[in-house]
Amino acid sequence: MNLEQLRAFVTVARLGNFTRAAEQLHLAQPSLSRQIGTLEQDLGAELFHRARAGSTLTSAGESLLPLARRMLADAESVRRELDALAGLRRGRVRLGATPTLCISLVAEVLGAFHSAHPGVELHITERGSRGLLDALSGGELDLALITTSGGASTDRFTVTPLLLEELVVISSGDAPPLTSRDSITLREVAELPQVVFSSTYDLRSTTDAAFEAAGLSPRAVIEGAEMDAVLRFVERGIGVAIVPAMVMIERKGLRAVRLAEPTLTRTISIARVTDIAPTPGVQVMQQTIVRTAAALAARPEATTRLADPA
């Protein structure tokens, strides 16, 4: 049996007349009669006593009627749930991001998404890129914002490059600028006292590799700090730090200068599990991330640009 047959049965039972039921359902009467006949054949029992004066339920019809009404009500409930999800009036999105992205891009994304869809429940996980991919693989996340070198997709994950972001050197806004030039070299940074990230940060691996490749030994005054602590220590003039450019959004107590010789960049990518179809909420979240990233890259002062597609 199908929902159309059940709806036809309930309508005939309520009106007691095939002709009026066909009109209400916008069906030709022969089509309605075929639906009821097919339902009776599938169930192996007549559902109506048919007469010129009208149609009444048989005992089998009386047994089916409450069940049919319940099934139609359940189907309507499912339809409303799906409509609600499609309209993003409710639902859940689980987003993961690296610590540096949580205080920059993700804050902007969540502000825009929540303003447009306040009924959707948001779950945020903050980890390094490797941990986020593990969480995706384990079904703990729907989407992850990670940092990658190439952004290539794998059989397990679809990884889409989003932004190419420069790393900049930050110092206290109360102290004199580090240089009068537009940029500072890695060799010059190595001679300054530095606040260095925890070894769990992807960013730490990138900067360590750059110093090593240049044959330089940076001078660390504080080592092992998390992002919030690094920014506060630099604000207080304890040292300088190399950070992603976007963490400087609305950071009035800090100043930044671009890094050159070499310029260091990282690719920010969106990752999801390839063989799991995204829900409407996840699709809209991904669209919000892409739009927000494009807006950040379009700012006149931006030191990020849209990444080339993989």
CB 145 within 8 A of CB 161: no
Mean pLDDT of the chain: 89
pLDDT reading at 221 higher than 90: yes
Give the per-residue pLDDT at 100: 84
Q: Give the integer Cα–Cα distance in Å for 195 and 203.
A: 13
Largest distance between two CA atoms of the chain: 102
CB 91 within 8 A of CB 266: no
Give the per-residue pLDDT at 277: 81
DSSP bridge partners of 225? 197
Of the pLDDT bands very low, low, confident and very high (cuts 50, 70, 90), residue 91 is confident
Q: Domains in the chain, please, with CATH?
A: 3-86 (1.10.10.10), 93-162+271-302 (3.40.190.10), 165-265 (3.40.190.290)
Q: Give the integer Cα–Cα distance in Å for 168 and 183.
A: 9
Give the per-residue pLDDT at 205: 87
Task: Give residue 86's identity as a one-letter amino acid code.
Answer: A
Q: Based on C-alpha coordinates, what's the Rg of the chain?
A: 31
Give the per-residue pLDDT at 152: 47
pLDDT higher for 91 or 63? 63
Task: Give residue 42's identity as a one-letter amino acid code.
Answer: D
Q: Give the integer Cα–Cα distance in Å for 308 and 269.
A: 11
Q: Give the integer Cα–Cα distance in Å for 210 and 12.
A: 78
DSSP readout, 24-58? HHT--HHHHHHHHHHHHHHHTS--EEEETTEEEE-
Task: Give residue 217's identity as a one-letter amino acid code.
Answer: S
pLDDT in tens, 276-309: 888 888 999 999 999 998 888 887 666 677 776 5
Of the pLDDT bands very low, low, confident and very high (cuts 50, 70, 90), residue 109 is very high
Which tokens go with 256?
């930044």
pLDDT reading at 119 higher than 90: no
**250 CB-near residues (< 8 Å, 6+ apart):** none
Q: What share of the chain is helix, strand, coil (3-state, %, to 5)?
A: 45, 25, 30
Which tokens go with 235?
């604000």
pLDDT in tens, 176-204: 999 999 999 999 999 999 999 988 888 88
